[in-house]
Amino acid sequence: MTELHEATVTELGERLRRREVSAVELADAQLERIELLNPELNAFLRTTPELAREQAQAADERLARGDAGPLTGIPVAIKDVLCVRGVETTAGSQILRGFRPPYDATTVARLKEAGAVIVGMTNCDEFAMGSSTENSSYGPALNPWNRGRVPGGSSGGSAAAVSAGLAAFALGTDTGGSIRQPAALCGVVGMKPTYGAVSRYGLIAFASSLDQVGPFTRSVTDAALVLDAIGGHDPRDSTSAPRQLDVMGQLEGGVAGLRLGVPREYFEVEGIEPGVAASVRRALDVLEEAGAKLVDVSLPHTEHGLAAYYIIAPAECSSNLARFDGVKYGYSDQTMGSLLDTYLRTRREGFGPEVRRRIMLGTYALSSGYYDAYYLKAQKVRTLIKRDFDEAFERCDAIVSATSPMVAFPLGSRTDNPLAMYLCDVLTLGGNLAGLPGLNVPCGAADGLPVGLQVLAPQFREDVALRVARAYEMASGVMTEVAPV
C-alpha cells in the first residue's frame, strides 16, 4: 500500500471511505510531514493546523454519516493569493503581512463545502509575478527534486507541496503559466481552466483578464475531480461563465482518432532545451502509438505573445494593486506626515522590486499618449493570437507542446535578468491571452529533472485536454511520483 503522503486524491478518498484512515489521522500525518520538510523547502508560508483539525473532524463526521464526496477529508494546500477567511493571506508580499480576509475566495469556499481539509498557505512569487517563486518576499521555495533549483512560479509553493507529498492537492493561479510551468518543473499535474470556468472571487488579482484558479495534483483524474469541485458559475464573478464543466465524463475516452496539433513555433522558441524537446517528442510518439493523429499546426503570432503579455498584464496589475495604499489594511508607513509620503513610503517598502517594476511598466503603458502605442496595440496582438488558436483548432482537437522550454533552473540564475525570467512563460502565456484551458502532465525527465507536456484545448473543452493527458498517463506508464525528499 502506498504511503499516505504518496497517495492520490482518488486513493485517499477510497481509504477514507473504507475507514482505513480517518481524516484527522490524515491531516495529522500531513501536518507532521510539513513540519519535517517545510523548514527547508519553504513550500508553505504558514500552516493552518487548527483549521485543518476542525475541518478533519467535520469530515470524519460526514464520512461516518455516509455523505462524503470525493474531496471530503483530503488535505489541500492553498496558494497565498486565495483568500481564506480568518487566515493570514499575503500574496507573498510584505504589504499584506498580517492581513486576514473576512471572506473566503469562492474556490476556497467550494473546497470547504466539499469537505477538503486546508493544511496551509503556499509560497508564491509576490502577487503571482514571477516564474521561480524567488520573488516571494518570504524567501524562495525550493524544488523537491533538487534543492539547488527553483520550483518554478509563481505557484511554486503549491507545486512543490504536491510534489513533495506535503498535500494531496493544491490550488494555484495561472496568469501566464503560473500553474503549468511550476507543475512542469516539479513533475506534477497542473491545470489552468478556461478563462471564466472557475470563479476569481477572492483571488487577489494580478491581471484580471488573464488570472485563473486551478489545481495541482498527482494524477490527471485528481485534477478533473478538483476542477469539478471548484468550477462553475459564480454570481459574484461577472466574468465567470454560466455553465458547468463536464470534465469527468470522457476522461477515459483515450486518444484514438483525436487530432493533436503540434505547433512548429512552439518547438523553435528561444532557449528551448534539447532534453526538454526530446522528452516531449517521445511523449508525442507515445500518443501517436495510442492512436492519436499528429498534425502540424502554426501559431504565427507566437513571437509577439510575450511582448503583448508583458504590456497587458502589467497594465492591469498597475490598477489592481492601487488599492494597497496604506489607508485601509496591510502595511502602512505614516512616519512622514503627508498623504503623498504615506503612499510613496508604504508602496516603496511594501512591494518588492519585481512588483514595482511591473506597476511602473503598466502605468507607463496606460499613460496618456502611450495608450494607443502600447496597451491598444497589445490588445490587437491578443486578438491575433486568439485567431491563431481558432484557426489551429479547426485542424486539431488539442494542441501539444512542452510546457516550459527549460527544466528547473538553479536558484539565482535568472534573477538578475528579468527578460530571461519572462522567457519561462513563452509556451504558456498564449493560453492565457486566448483564454484557453491548458494543463501540464509529467512526461519523463531530462538531466534528472522533470519535463512537462502541455495540452491546450479550445475554450471550455477541459474534457479534451484531460482526456489526452489521461491517455498519455495510461499509455506511457509515466505516473506522477512524489519527489525523493
Partner 1 sequence: MTWETVIGMEVHVQLKTRTKMFCRCSSDYMGQAPNTHVCEVCLGMPGVLPVINKAAVEQCLKAALALECDVAEWTKFDRKNYFYPDLPKGYQISQYDLPMSREGRLELDGRTVRITRVHLEEDTGKSVHAGDSLHGAERSYVDLNRAGIPLMEVVSEPDLRSSDEARAYAQALRGLMRAIGASDADMEKGQLRAEANVSVRRVGEAELGVKTELKNINSFRALKLAIDHEVSRQISVLEGGGSVSQETRGWDEARGVTYSQRSKEFAQDYRYFPEPDLPPLEISRSWLDSLRAGLPELPAAQRSRLEAAGLSASTASLIVSSQLGDYLDAAVAAGAPLAPAANWLVGEIAPNLDEREALPADRLAQIVVAVEAGRLNREQGKQVLREAWESGRDPEEIVRERGLEQVSDDSALEGWVAEAIEAQPQAVSDFKSGKQQAFGALMNEVKQRSGGRADMKRASELLRQRLS
Known catalytic residues?
79, 154, 178
Shortest distance, position 340 Cβ to partner 1, whole Å: 9
Nearer to partner 1, 47 or 106 (CB): 106
Shortest distance, position 322 Cβ to partner 1, whole Å: 2
Nearer to partner 1, 298 or 379 (CB): 379
Element at 142 (helix H, strand E): none
Shortest distance, position 179 Cβ to partner 1, whole Å: 17
Helix, strand, coil percentages in the chain from 3-state DSSP, rounded to 5: 45, 15, 40
> What are the DSSP E strand ranges found in 338-437?
398-402
DSSP annotation string for 261-272: EEEGGGGS-TT-
Cell output for 472: 498519455
Cell output for 479: 505516473
Shortest distance, position 59 Cβ to partner 1, whole Å: 26
Nearer to partner 1, 25 or 237 (CB): 237
Nearer to partner 1, 64 or 322 (CB): 322
Nearer to partner 1, 82 or 471 (CB): 82
CA 358 to chain centre: 20
Phi-psi region of 452 (alpha: psi -120 to 50; beta: other; left: phi over 0): beta
Cell output for 213: 484558479
Shortest distance, position 319 Cβ to partner 1, whole Å: 5
Nearer to partner 1, 27 or 315 (CB): 315
Give CA–CA dist 129/110, Å, rounded. Answer: 26
Measured between alpha carbons, how far is residue 398 from residues 159, 206, 454, 456, 480 in Å? Answer: 24, 28, 10, 6, 22
Side by side, the strands of the sheet bearing 293-297 are 44-47, 117-122, 75-79, 169-174, 212-217, 189-192, 438-446, 449-456, 398-402, 259-263, 293-297
Give CA–CA dist 84/202, Å, rounded. Answer: 8
Shortest distance, position 202 Cβ to partner 1, whole Å: 4
Nearer to partner 1, 205 or 272 (CB): 205
Shortest distance, position 103 Cβ to partner 1, whole Å: 5
Give CA–CA dist 113/299, Å, rounded. Answer: 41
* Residues contributing to the site for partner 1 (CB under 8 A): 81-83, 89, 91, 96, 99, 101-103, 105, 200-205, 207-209, 235-239, 315-316, 318-319, 321-325, 327-329, 339, 343, 363, 366-368, 371, 375
Nearer to partner 1, 189 or 312 (CB): 312
Shortest distance, position 126 Cβ to partner 1, whole Å: 13
Give CA–CA dist 329/99, Å, rounded. Answer: 7
- Burial of 142 (C-beta count, 10 Å sphere; 0-12/13-18/19+): buried
> Residues 78, 173: contact at Cβ < 8 Å?
no
* Number of neighbouring beta carbons within 10 Å of residue 373: 11
Cell output for 131: 516564474
Cell output for 178: 503560473
Measured between alpha carbons, how far is residue 314 from residues 115, 153, 364, 433 in Å? Answer: 36, 17, 9, 13
